[in-house]
Chain A
Amino acid sequence: MGERMITFAEALNEALDQMMAKDEKVIVMGEDVGVYGGVFGVTKGLIEKYGPERVRDTPIAESGFIGAGIGAAAVGYRPVVELMFIDFLGVAFDQIYNQAAKMRYMFGGRAKIPLVLRTVAGAGFSAAAQHSQSLHSIFVHVPGLKVVMPSTPYDAKGLLISSIKDDDPVIFIEHKGLYGIKGPVPKDEYEVPLGVADVKRKGKDVTIVATAAMVHKSLRVAEKLAKEGVDIEVVDPRSLKPLDLDTILGSIKKTGRLVVVDEGYPRCGFATDIAAIAASMAFRDLKAPVKLVTPPDTPVPFSPALEPEWIPSENDIEKAVRKTVED
């Protein structure tokens, strides 16, 4: 019997469904999460099963309803709040970085905020500058937040279940280009632990650390270059905080060459963070300078003629790998 194949969106839906069935303290809130089922279909069918009290459509008041999620979490609920696009964080950021992130610490460990903030990132849909960004690094920057960004349906389900069970605020970032991809997903409840990277492809010559949609592009480049005898290891951190440093440093130690591929902006971002870690902790393992593949330092453009230029491509990744092998 073959493994069951479902989409990334279905995997997330199943995680929500299983956790809501199991624990009545798990509630879902956000814009159009009810009858509409979420603008990307992730909460489809939940309102029919769990009703409008637990699957709660909200007014467009992101600060208010994320803050309400924090308040509900502080008194024992486990809200899964949806921020429709990560780009909207600006209207609600205080609640995320000053409130949810800091309450436990500020209050001397007496608060628990088991809140999951699901949100959608990523370019590739001509959604232009305010609906296409990958802003995960902003969250990673802030102490007190866990940040998760899966690349496969299997990881999506297991990480969402772990995030809901976790007692800390977790920012759960879904790349909109991944919702339709299919992969094997067990029917039963299972966890993918936070803070454990996954080696998506083993290799000995070059390490690629890649996130979300970039994992798949990197894997395709790895297959292509394998034919030329370049054996690439692709590491998907899955959680950006906590970070599985051992797996990343272990891979660098093995290959001596590092390429980081990330859809976040180039400065002060996840890619530069991994590069800084490599420079400070694995300098002597490196045989060549670290190569970073990111978008340029511009907003995301709209035109189909421009957007593909902006998004890191397989060609960009391939060039970076070839350069690091030559260096």
Chain B
Amino acid sequence: MSKEEIPKEKLLWMYETMVRIRKSEEEASKHFAQGKIPGFVHLYIGEEAVAVGAMANLRDEDVITSTHRGHGHFIAKGGDLKELWAELYGKRTGTCKGKGGSMHIADLRKGELGANGIVGGGIPHAVGAALAFKLSKSDRVSIAFFGDGASNQQNFHEGLNLASVWKLPVIFLCENNQYQISLPYSKQQAIRSVAERGSAYGVPGVEVDGQDVLAVYEVVKEAVERARRGEGPTLIEAKTYRYMGHFEGDPQVYRKKEEVEWWRKNKDPIEIFKKRLLDMGIAKESDLKNIEAKVDAEVKEAVKFAEESPYPDPKELYDDVFSTPTKGVLVWEWNF
């Protein structure tokens, strides 16, 4: 890890953002259990350091593509917590006006090109955005987030190859949380790490401890700088762990409770970082408590906003299928 000093402000942003993701996700778990959040919900608890360490390197105009487990990416990229919660509830005030829900959380205004219900589906979009950045001679970059399961999917391989042969400013960030739903990593692929796959495409592959936000920050920093200099893509594998099931309601028959407990106790990204901040003298216990209290209030407010917001009008069903109106029938309705 480079010893270059990270500004205090940035360190505290990292802490606050990790706490914001954690608290919001814990609240989402409760609300799902109470039947208030419809649909499928995949939570990011345990993986916070990856999104935050990565996003700490991005500018607003840089873009990311996300996964079905996308709330953390959305929050870390600057998405509005109220709009996230309203979307989880299916409300009109949600970031997708209630059309997307948990699996399609997005905010293109913030460079969040979308969570994706299809494993690996977003990877080529990050490649294409990077192509656009290269063509327009800007130094913007993109990050494709995806999981260990997605690294077996065609879009990972095709995307990595395109980015490499075209030398595009994109970072492939694999969040290896060690399970593809129920299938452990060891039964998905015969190689030791996803990062090794980079060599097949001439892309540097780096492994990092995904529970250590500063370690993630440093490897992504190097990859982002490389990309901005026009030196091409990097594949990063962050070894991480999800505390919750694949989705809320997952009976988790494929792993032992003790395993989850071990990670919570020994590898919790927020606890690890908290200790670092205190040891480094960046913050006092009371400063961190204040941050936590502030985030608690924010989450509470976001939930309230979601609950009090109106549902979309049934007529909104027909809106936003297309951008450009045309003559002729575009969105079909049978008229009786």
Binding site for B on A (CB under 8 A): 27, 53-54, 56, 58-59, 61, 63-77, 79, 91, 94-95, 98-99, 103-112, 143-144, 146, 166-168, 193-197, 239, 241-245, 280-281
Contact = CB atoms under 8 A, between A and B. Distances in A.
Interface of B: 63, 65, 94-100, 104, 106-109, 113-114, 116-118, 121, 123-133, 135, 142, 154-155, 158-159, 161-162, 165-166, 319-324, 326-331, 334-335
A61 B128 contact: no
B38 to A, nearest CB: 15
Contacts of A67: 121, 123-125, 127-128, 155, 158-159
Contacts of B133: 75
A68 B155 contact: no
A109 B320 contact: yes
A73 B118 CA distance: 19
Nearest to A242: B328
Say what secondary structure dominates the interface of chain A: mixed
Contacts of B159: 64, 67-68
A40 B47 CA distance: 49
Contacts of B330: 146, 195, 241-242
A107 B108 contact: yes
A94 to B, nearest CB: 6
B328 A196 contact: yes
B322 A104 contact: yes
A105 B129 contact: no
B248 to A, nearest CB: 20
Given A59-B165, A99-B118, A146 B322 contact: yes
Given A106-B96, A167-B323, A71 B121 contact: no
Given A143-B331, A195-B327, A61 B99 contact: no
A74 B197 CA distance: 28
Contacts of B132: 71-72, 75-77
A71 B131 contact: yes
Given A77-B135, A95-B121, A58 B162 contact: yes
For the complex of A and B, list the 8 residue pairs with the smallest distance between their C-beta atoms, beginning with the closest: A67-B124, A71-B128, A195-B328, A64-B158, A242-B328, A68-B128, A71-B125, A109-B320
A317 B126 CA distance: 48
A102 to B, nearest CB: 8
A74 B121 contact: no
Contacts of B113: 71, 74-75, 111
B63 to A, nearest CB: 6
B98 A243 contact: no
B131 A68 contact: yes
B329 A243 contact: yes
A70 B155 CA distance: 13
B118 A94 contact: yes
A306 B116 CA distance: 44
A72 B128 contact: yes
A110 B124 contact: no
A207 B124 CA distance: 45
